[in-house]
């Protein structure tokens, strides 16, 4: 708790210093920002935009996770399919999010599709590789024995594959949550009219600096909340031990 | 039931198995005997489908095949009981699986380990569990690698007793690797001595 308060205090001091140096027109002071944030919190627009961003991020992560599980398990079990897919994954990995955002804005317009698909495109490759590699690393002799005993596919999935890849998938999911979150905001900034990212864009266009800073605080606050609530506990589960901050 | 024709296998550039032809019918029980390192385990694993041969064909006319290998592959996250349930799942309804599992865990001296996971069991216990799975299945093809080694008298009796029953009913083709030859001859197994290296063999009628 003490290191946390200390870093908060450091940020406040630096922030106030910058605000004096550049003037409150460019860098609103922490107090001004807090007042603006308090004002925004009474409007429904703020909660709506926050909810939109959070929903988009979560839907995107869930869709990506499902896709990565299905395709990753298939590719992990068959070397041919894996060698077939790996160039595609390499292309996907080499494509910067900005390209997806541009293309998807043209193809899909400014709705929910852009942020969700951009997160999927950028988080899918690492998550997929994570699943495929952990499936490929499963005990082959155990899988062969199950086959000899003619164990049904759904039991092999439930009792060998899923428990075997569980820790690796959790580790991959922590990464996906942390980065997918930021990608959602960027995609909204560039390709959507609603959500926190879009609000940051509008504040920037109007040069409403207190609002811009308030949205930034909301974004950072959500990211930290995610980190401390979900990501830490997932990581701890994945490692089967404790995580030191 | 089980046909191996012209099997070849090389491991690391060295030919281990050269031209094995083996034809087993229901009611046959043979035991491969010979010095270690001659390729018996490799041959059994090819016959079971655990590893691929480099040449030749393997045919199995089986609806329930039971196997136990020396390394006893088991599900590390499930208890002994649940492991048996998993391996028997394709062949029996749940209630029968529970009964058969309990019975065989008892016969193999594992009743106290029913809820233990493989990581909490010794190597010998894991092998007994794996043998229990293969016998509980009432298999029509049965392949066991050293099923009697490191077993106490009671467990040996349980295993040979079940082998004798399967053999008497002529319900299974049985392929064994063992050094406990007297015990197996007693229950009517034919011993196939292997001394050639690389392993070559002709047994049974095509």
Q: Which residues pair with B161 in a beta bridge?
A: none
pLDDT digits (tens, 9 = 90+) for B112-142: 999 999 999 998 899 999 999 999 999 999 9
Q: Mean pLDDT, chain A, as a whole number?
A: 88
Of B65, B73, B78, the CB nearest to A141: B73
Q: Which residues contact B149 (CB under 8 A, 6 or more apart)?
A: B178, B179, B180
pLDDT at A114: 86
Nearest to A148 among B65, B78, B88 (CB): B65
Q: Is A153 on the interface with B (CB under 8 A)?
A: no
Interface A–B counts its CB contacts (< 8 A) at 51
Q: Determine the Cα–Cα distance for residues B137 and A5; give it in Å rounded to an integer.
A: 64
Q: Which CATH superfamily is domain A48-244 in?
A: MetI-like (1.10.3720.10)
Distance from chain centroid for Cα B20? 19
> What's the whole-model pTM score?
0.82
Residue A240: the pLDDT is 63
Question: CB B73 to CB A145 under 8 A?
Answer: yes
Boundaries of every domain in chain A: 48-244
A134 token code pair:
């952990």
Strand ranges in A54-182 using DSSP code E only, listed in sequence order: none
Across A79-84, average pLDDT:
91
Binned at pLDDT 50, 70 and 90, residue A245 comes out as: very low
pLDDT tens digits along A100-159: 888 888 888 777 888 888 899 889 999 999 999 999 999 999 999 999 999 999 999 999
Yes or no, beta carbons of A149 and B65 under 8 Å apart: yes
Choosing among B52, B79, B86, which should be mutated to test the A contact, i.e. which has the most A CBs within 10 A? B86
pLDDT 10s digits, A7-52: 889 998 999 999 989 988 888 988 889 999 999 999 998 899 999 9
Give the model's pLDDT for residue A192: 83
Question: Which stretches of chain B score pLDDT less than 70?
Answer: none
Tokens 């210093």 appear where? A17
Is A244 a residue whose pLDDT tops 70? no
What value does the CA radius of gyration of chain B take, rounded to a whole number of Å? 17
As given in the structure block, the two tokens for residue A33 are 């920002």
Q: Tell me: the pLDDT tens digits for A190-242?
A: 888 889 999 999 999 988 899 999 999 998 888 888 888 888 888 787 776 44
B48, closest residue in chain A (CA to CA): A148
Which residues fall within 8 angstroms of residue B96, CB to CB, at 6 or more apart? Answer: none
B94 touches chain A (CB under 8 A): no
pLDDT for the residue numbered A243? 40
- Pick the residue of A138, A143, A150 with the most B CBs within 10 A to test the interface with B by mutation: A150
Which of B73, B48, B50 shows the shortest CA–CA distance to B123? B73
On chain B, the residues whose CB falls within 8 A of the CB of A155 are 86, 89
CB A49, CB A196: distance < 8 Å: yes
* CB contact (8 A) between residue B69 and residue A159: no
Cα angle, residue A228 at apex, residues A226 and A233 outer, rounded to 5°? 100
Tokens matching residue B9 = 């296998």
């Amino acid at each position: 708790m003490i290191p946390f308060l200390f870093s908060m205090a450091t940020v406040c001091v630096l922030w106030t210093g910058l605000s004096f140096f550049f003037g409150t027109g460019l860098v609103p002071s922490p107090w001004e920002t807090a007042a603006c944030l308090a004002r925004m919190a009474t409007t429904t627009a703020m909660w709506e935009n926050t909810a939109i961003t959070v929903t988009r991020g979560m839907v995107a992560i869930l869709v990506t996770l499902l896709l990565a599980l299905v395709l990753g398990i298939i590719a992990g079990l068959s070397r041919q399919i894996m060698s077939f897919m790996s160039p595609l994954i390499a292309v996907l990995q080499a494509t910067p999010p900005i390209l997806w955002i541009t293309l998807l804005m043209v193809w899909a317009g400014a709705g929910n599709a852009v942020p969700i698909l951009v997160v999927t495109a950028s988080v899918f490759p690492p998550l997929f590789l994570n699943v495929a590699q952990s499936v490929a690393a499963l005990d082959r002799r155990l899988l062969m024995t199950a086959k000899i005993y003619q164990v049904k596919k759904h039991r092999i999935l439930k009792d060998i594959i899923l428990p075997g890849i569980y820790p690796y998938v959790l580790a991959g999911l922590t990464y996906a949550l942390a980065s997918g979150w930021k990608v959602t905001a960027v995609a909204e900034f560039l390709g959507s009219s609603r959500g926190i990212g879009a609000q940051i864009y509008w504040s920037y266009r109007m040069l409403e600096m207190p609002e811009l800073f308030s949205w930034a605080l909301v974004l950072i606050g959500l990211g930290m909340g995610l980190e401390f609530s979900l990501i830490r506990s997932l990581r701890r589960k994945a490692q089967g031990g404790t995580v030191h901050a | 039931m089980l046909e191996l024709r012209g099997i070849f296998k090389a491991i690391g550039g060295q030919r281990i198995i050269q031209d094995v032809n083996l034809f087993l019918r229901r009611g046959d029980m043979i035991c491969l005997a010979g010095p270690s390192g001659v390729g018996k385990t490799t041959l059994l694993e090819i016959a079971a489908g655990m590893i691929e041969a480099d040449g030749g064909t393997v045919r199995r006319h089986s609806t329930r095949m039971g196997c136990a290998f020396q390394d006893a592959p088991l599900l590390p996250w499930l208890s002994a009981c649940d492991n048996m349930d998993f391996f028997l799942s394709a062949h029996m309804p749940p209630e029968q699986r529970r009964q058969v599992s309990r019975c065989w865990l008892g016969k193999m001296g594992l009743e106290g380990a029913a809820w233990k996971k493989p990581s909490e069991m010794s190597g010998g216990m894991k092998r007994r569990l794996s043998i229990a799975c293969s016998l509980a299945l009432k298999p029509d093809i049965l392949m066991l690698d050293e099923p009697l080694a490191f077993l106490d008298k009671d467990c040996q009796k349980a295993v040979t007793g079940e082998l004798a029953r399967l053999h008497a009913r002529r319900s299974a083709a049985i392929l064994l690797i063992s050094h406990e030859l007297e015990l197996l001859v007693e229950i009517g197994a034919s011993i196939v001595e292997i001394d050639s290296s690389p392993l070559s063999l002709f047994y049974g009628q095509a």
